[in-house]
Amino acid sequence: MIKKLLTAAAFGVSAIAMAAPAVAATQIVVTPFTMGNMNGVTGTFGSTPTQAGFPNGTGTFTFTDEFFFDFNANGVGSGSVTNNIVRLGSFATDINFTSITFNGAAGTFENVGGTSTASFTNVPLTGGRQTLVISGSSTGGASYSGEVSVLANAVPEPATWALMLMGFGLVGTSLRGRRRNVVAA
């Protein structure tokens, strides 16, 4: 009986030890801006991935970081991320990105030498919660930082709407007049 209990406890402890680390979402603080007649927000984010049992430079572990912010308009989003290497004595810490997604749309990443970059450009979005997920591997101690910018779709001014409606009216009138001429001929 005790043997079964010890075996079950050993399986439980090993399952917990091998479980993937939890992903905690971090809110990006955004600052509103205006460009012409369009509004948007911009914000910065960053992280220093760590994992228990991996002191700096003693091994490689994987990480997934999730960031979010709220933007209540339709628009497009762009952003970029770069790692920051830390040299500690005879070894250097490092980060290699394996993926970046913004609202589920995959971005691009590149790991060259000791520098890793990731980006996404003009990803369409709808109003509400926006989510950025960055995954990679690290030797501990290195960090990364980036910036995200979102621009709302432009909404035409009332004068633009009036001019467009007048144009439709003129086109309709000219087509109606041509049809009468064709019937009379």
0.75 exceeded by pTM:
no
68 in a structural domain: yes
Cα 62 to chain centroid, rounded: 19
Distance separating alpha carbons of residues 42 and 82, to the nearest angstrom: 17
**CA gap 13, 77 in Å, rounded:** 43
Tens-place pLDDT, residues 27-44: 777 777 776 666 788 888
Residue 162 domain boundaries: 23-176
Residue 37 lies in a domain: yes
Residue 8 within any structural domain of the chain: no
Query: CATH number for the domain including 33?
Result: 2.60.120
Render pLDDT for 142-157 as a digit per residue (tens, 0 to 9). Answer: 889 999 988 887 666 6
Among 25-29, 109-113, 125-129, where is mean pLDDT lowest? 25-29
Domain count within the chain: 1
Residue 182 has pLDDT above 60, yes or no: no
Whether 6 and 14 have beta carbons less than 8 Å apart is answered as no
- How far is 47 from 132, CA to CA, in rounded Å? 13
Q: Is residue 135 part of a domain?
A: yes
Is residue 9 in a domain?
A: no
